[in-house]
Structure formats: C-alpha cells, structure tokens
Structure 1
Amino acid sequence: MIIDSHQHFWKYNPVKHSWINEQMSVIRRDFLPSDLKPVYVKNGVDGCVAVQADQTLAETDFLLEHAHNNAFVKGVVGWVDLRSADVDKDLEKYAKDKHLKGYRHIVQEEADHNFMLRPDFLRGISKLEQYGAVYDILIFPHQLGATLELVKKFPNQKFVIDHIAKPYIKDGFYDGWATMMKEVAKHENVFCKISGMITEADFKSWTPEQIHPYMLLALEAFGPERCMYGSDWPVCLVAGTYTQVMELTTNFISSLSTTEQAAIMGLNAVEFYGLE
C-alpha cells in the first residue's frame, strides 16, 4: 500500500496564496481531488493525507469536506489556533471527525525563532494528546533548536518533521542541519517526512545525487520505521513531475528490505496518523 503522507488542495487566491511567487507561477491555479486522483492512478498511490496550507478554520473545514467526499483522502492535518484560550472548543469539535488526524502551524513563517516555545503555544500543544491528535512541524533549519526543546517537553505527543526540515540544498548547506536533525531524531516520538526536497534544491537543475546525502541522513537518524514518503503535491510541480518525486524516494530506498520499503512508502503513515 502506498500512502502519500503530504499533499495540499486549494482554490487559488492571489492574496491568500501570496507565498506562491513568480518563480512558482505554474501552481497559481486551483488544485482539487479531481486533479490529484488521475495522478495517483498513474503512479499506483492508494491514498493520502491532506495538509493545511492556510491558517484558518475554514481551511480545516475545506480539507475535511474533500476527505468526506473522496475515499482516497484518508486523513487531514488541519489548523486551529493553538495559542487561543478557547483552543479546547475547536479541538473537541474536530475530534468528532474521524478524518481529522492532526494539526500544523506554518512556523517557518514566524519571525520569532522560539515561536514554538512561547507559553500560549506550548499550552495548545499540551492539549493534543488527549484528543488523539498528532502535530506536523513545519520549520526551517534555524528552528531545529526550538524543535528539539519542544519534542523533549512532550515525550508522549506524536510529532513529525515536514520536508526533512527544509535544508538549504540549493546552497549546499548541510552540517548544522545534520547535527540538529540527529539530536531531534533521538526522541522516538518524532517521525520524519521524506518530502519537499526538490523545491529546496535548484528548481531547474537539481539531481537525485545532490539530494541523496540529505535523504541518507534522515533515513539513518530516524530509521526506516520513522520515515514516511510524501510528495508535497502540487508544490512539487514547480521543480518536477509527481513521478520524478516518487521515484526520487523509491529509487533511493530500493536497497532496503521489502518490509522497510513498505513501511516508508505507506505503513508508517498509516500507523502515525491512524489511517483506516
């Protein structure tokens, strides 16, 4: 079973999606389940986890609606304001929907390096376990220090690092990122998505060989039992095709046992997110 642990849907809005810059103009349009389903059929993908790209409750509802109407959308990582004094109300409401698996905040856009360690945010994170919700960590490498402190504070909370923490592959920066990823990986409540890598490299000239050292570090640090495949569709289309993204991972892990390959390509996502 192949599960894509990370993809997005949106109805394109120039204001809401202002992060889609000129270089990324190919994705300045709507991307909906009807666009993704044929891609999955072609590539033999059985299902996916839809992840928020906008920080509103309307976004969470939008993704859940698609999950209710499309059997291949197995789970949703939505957004609630974890800093809100009323966060329990939202968490309780969404916990009633079996498709809602966890939450994410776009921490990479926060200017405060220690955003995740602020008392109001920590209070929100502390609530997730009781609702059976996981948390996706979206950061840049300079935020790995705060990430380490966060995951230490909540040893029973399930976390996953999105896009191997977005290392600066294009610039060849590796050592600082690698050191911190190894430290975070020592905490067994943390998983890692092998995703979002070709868009951290040069859009036009990336090669698998350029990305392999970063994949190897993630695989060695977290082990095959805590890594999961993700495409980051449709963002990945800026730098390649869905097939190229999938083959980047399948070719890289081809020397692993069939059990380990099956774990990375789907079973770990099923376990982590509690997918049916």
Structure 2
Amino acid sequence: MTTPEAPEVLVDAHHHVWDLSVRDQPWITGEAMRPLRRNFSVAELAPQAAAAGADRTVVVQTVPEEDETVELLALAEGAGPVAAVVGWTDLTDPRVADRLAALRARPGGRYLRGIRHQAQDEADPRWLCRPDVRRGLRAVAEAGLVHDILVTPVQLPAAVETVAALPGARFVLDHLGKPPVATGELRPWADDLAGLAALANVDCKLSGLVTEADWHHWTVDGLRPYADHALRVFGPGRVLFGSDWPVCTLAADYAGVVDAARRLTAHLTPAERQAVFADNAVRVYGLDRTSRTADG
C-alpha cells in the first residue's frame, strides 16, 4: 500500500522527555527497557518531528511529581515545538484546585492544558472511581483542563464509569487503552472501548500501539484491527495522533511510528486525516493554530 500524502499540518499530541541527571524514571526497569535509560530531550526530538511534518507537540508527564511538571512548563515557555503540557498533580489532595492554580502561576503556566495520573500503576482497578479521585477530576475540569486517562484494559470499565459520572469534564484516553496487540485479542477491550466512545466528553489517542505489539516483529496489519475499531467507535473527529516518543523507540523510530499511523488512516478522507493528525489535538488541548517552529 502506498503511504498517503502527509496532512498539511501535523501535531504530535503525545511525547515525553526526561533527564536522568535531574530525576530518575523508576518505571524504566529490566533489560528490555534498557534503551530508554538515557536522557531524551526536545533538542533530540525536534528534527525528527520536523522531518515528519510535525510543527507542534504536546509533552506529557512521566512521573507523579509536580517538580517535573514545573520543568515541562518552563520548557514550553522556551523555543521549540512544545505547545502544551499535560502535567501531574495529586488528584486526591483536597487542595487540588490550589495546586493547579499554583502550577499555572509558574513560568510557562499558560501552557498547562491537561493533567495525567498513571492509573495503570494503581493496584486498585477501580482507582478512578474513588470519591477523592473524582473530586480531583472535577477540580481539573473546573480549571478548564483535560484529564489524560492512562489505563490498561482491565481498568477500562472504571474509566467508562468515571467519564459517565463527570459529564462536565473533558477526558482523552491515552494509547487506545493499551489493547493486547501482542496476543491478537480484541475482547473485552473492544467492548469496553466502545462503551467509552459512546460518551461524548472523551477523545482517544492513536498512540502507543507499537509497544503493545511484539517490539521486534510488529506489522501495520497487526495494529490495524485496533486502530480500525477505535476509528469506528470514536470516529475520526475524536481520535488524535501521538508518537509516544521516546517510548516508541523500543519498537520503532519516530518516522516509523508516523508512517504506521498514516497507513492505518489511509482509508480516511483528507479532511478526516487532517482531524486525526492535527485538528483534534488543537481542539482538545486548546493549541494555537500557528506553528511553533516557524520562528524557531
């Protein structure tokens, strides 16, 4: 299959950066993850993103520490492609509204557009349903921010319940809910994703699929059932492209991830592809409609 022509504008709605001399990334464990145990910077990402046509990016937190969020906000304030930050704060803190206000008062605070917690790491599969968590999610919504949902398939039912319980909040599901691509299974993930998609206040990211597959032997055709299902139940108007760089490098380089996403969306109309690769990220994260890279 011929790769479809790239959209006029590409926004990468999900990537990370870290400096191990500043902060450890304790989730990077084991021999298989060793390639990630080094520093990854925007300076390294920027030329790869530009070569793929991405002129703006959304950087996402990796550890549950507000100090990291402060650093990401300062990064967005500087030159480069980062146009928005999805940070972290303690959703269970009764003072979460004050914490959000304090983050917004920091240098670059105007770039805070979302909050994420690694619910995937919580032992309780219904963590998102806890009253204190939902109180925090209401505060995020009242601050005009999006909540990025990071869960595994077993936690998707709780995500459905919580999104339904908070119709005034906006959510975006990271990595399609991490479907079991490596095993080729579709259910119950597919049914739960459809249940989530039935709710109007949530979008999802076409991201992270290559690392849910066999890192060394994945194919676009192997990813296709999961991408097709997400595009069918959410519709192209609620799906956002994200590279998940540098985590994706365990399975593919930046260009390879973009190419896979373009092949997975080749059947869409040009307007639908433009929505997936740019317009939906602009809407969800309130991005400026002008390039961050044109002026350096």
TM bracket, shorter-chain basis: over 0.9
Which position in structure 1 is the counterpart of 2:238? Answer: 226
Deviation larger for 188-197 or 23-32: 23-32
Which position in structure 2 is the counterpart of 1:29? Answer: 38
Please give the per-residue CA displacement for 1:30-72, whole angstroms capped at 9, x wherever unaligned.
Answer: 1111111111122111110000001101010111111111341
Which position in structure 2 is the counterpart of 1:162? Answer: 174
Structure 1 position 121, deviation (Å): 0.6
Counterpart AA for 2:27: W
Counterpart AA for 1:219: L
- Correspondence for 1:272 among 279, 284, 290: 284
SS of residue in 1 equivalent to 2:182: helix
Which position in structure 2 is the counterpart of 1:151? Answer: 163
Give the whole-Å Cα distance in 2 for the aligned partners of 1:38 and 1:188: 36
- Correspondence for 1:258 among 242, 249, 270: 270
**What runs of 5+ residues in structure 1 fail to find an aligned partner?**
none
Please give the per-residue CA displacement for 1:106-151, whole angstroms capped at 9, x wherever unaligned.
Answer: 0000000111111111110111222110000000000011001100
SS of residue in 2 equivalent to 1:169: coil
Which position in structure 2 is the counterpart of 1:69? Answer: 78
Counterpart AA for 1:79: W
Structure 1 position 86, deviation (Å): 1.6
TM-score, normalising length from structure 2? 0.91
Instruction: State whether residues 95 and 131 of structure 1, in contact with CA within 8 Å, keep that contact through their aligned partners in structure 2.
Output: no
Which position in structure 1 is the counterpart of 2:212? Answer: 200
SS of residue in 2 equivalent to 1:191: strand
Give the whole-Å Cα distance in 2 for the aligned partners of 1:156 and 1:89: 20
Confirm whether residue 107 of structure 1 aligns to residue 119 of structure 2.
yes
Instruction: State whether residues 8 and 51 of structure 1, in contact with CA within 8 Å, keep that contact through their aligned partners in structure 2.
Output: yes
Deviation larger for 37-46 or 193-202: 37-46
Runs of 4+, deviation exceeding 6 Å: none
Counterpart AA for 1:60: T
RMSD of equivalent CA atoms: 1.3
- Correspondence for 2:52 among 34, 38, 43: 43
Give the whole-Å Cα distance in 2 for the aligned partners of 1:26 and 1:95: 34
Cα separation, partners in 2 of 1:195 and 1:61, compared to 1, 3 Å? same
Give the whole-Å Cα distance in 2 for the aligned partners of 1:257 and 1:143: 33
| Identity across the alignment (%) | 38
Instruction: State whether residues 11 and 54 of structure 2, in contact with CA within 8 Å, keep that contact through their aligned partners in structure 1.
Output: yes
Which position in structure 1 is the counterpart of 2:291? Answer: none
Counterpart AA for 1:242: Y
Instruction: State whether residues 57 and 79 of structure 1, in contact with CA within 8 Å, keep that contact through their aligned partners in structure 2.
Output: yes
SS of residue in 2 equivalent to 1:46: strand
- Across the two proteins, how many residue pairs are aligned to each other? 276
Instruction: State whether residues 115 and 146 of structure 2, in contact with CA within 8 Å, keep that contact through their aligned partners in structure 1.
Output: yes
Which position in structure 2 is the counterpart of 1:54? Answer: 63
- Correspondence for 1:8 among 11, 16, 23: 16
Which position in structure 1 is the counterpart of 2:293? Answer: none
Give the whole-Å Cα distance in 2 for the aligned partners of 1:165 and 1:219: 13
Instruction: State whether residues 52 and 104 of structure 1, in contact with CA within 8 Å, keep that contact through their aligned partners in structure 2.
Output: yes
Give the whole-Å Cα distance in 2 for the aligned partners of 1:187 and 1:86: 28
Give the whole-Å Cα distance in 1 for the aligned partners of 2:249 and 2:21: 18
Structure 1 position 272, deviation (Å): 0.5
Which position in structure 2 is the counterpart of 1:78? Answer: 87
Deviation larger for 92-101 or 40-49: 92-101
Give the whole-Å Cα distance in 2 for the aligned partners of 1:158 and 1:272: 8
Structure 1 position 15, deviation (Å): 8.1
Give the whole-Å Cα distance in 2 for the aligned partners of 1:14 and 1:108: 24
SS of residue in 2 equivalent to 1:149: helix
Deviation larger for 92-101 or 218-227: 92-101
Cα separation, partners in 2 of 1:64 and 1:12, compared to 1, 3 Å? same
